[in-house]
Amino acid sequence: MRDYQPGDSFNRISWRASARTGRMMVKEFELDPTADVWVVLDLDARAHVRGLIRDLAHDDPLANLLANATEEYAVTVAASLARHFINQNRTVGLMAAGQHREIIPTDRARQLLKVLEALAVLRAEGASRCPSCWSPRRGASDATARSCW
């Protein structure tokens, strides 16, 4: 419970607690700690330095030095997130759009290995952005995620 703040949804007001305390109180809910975690990786070439260099066709030495850096950082962060949540006994899935689209459904058996193997071969060579259906939806399942491909 916490005090009401402008913009809070009216359906979150706890009328019983508000009557008891004499001020508007709002119910807060914790996220389900066992919900699936999806790591989404956008490897569209235009979102990474290498793609920008190719599109702009210039010879900036710093840009050439960093050509693979953003791709490597993105893959490293995705792998780190997957490992972190798997170590917390969460089910982790991977959705990535690079030179091809990759979906590793949420699972527990050898999941980190599956995610790392997929990340090892992905390259920022995609020509299309991540599908808009990747936006989080309450109750979305593996099948829902796959259906937008």
Residue with the two structure tokens 């009216």? 10
Query: Where along the chain do its domains lie?
Result: 1-30, 37-129
CA atoms of 34 and 88, how far apart (whole Å): 10
138 has a pLDDT exceeding 50: no
Segment 13-35 mean pLDDT: 86
Answer whether 0.75 is exceeded by the pTM. Answer: no
Cross-strand bridge partners of residue 104? 94
pLDDT above 60 for 84: yes
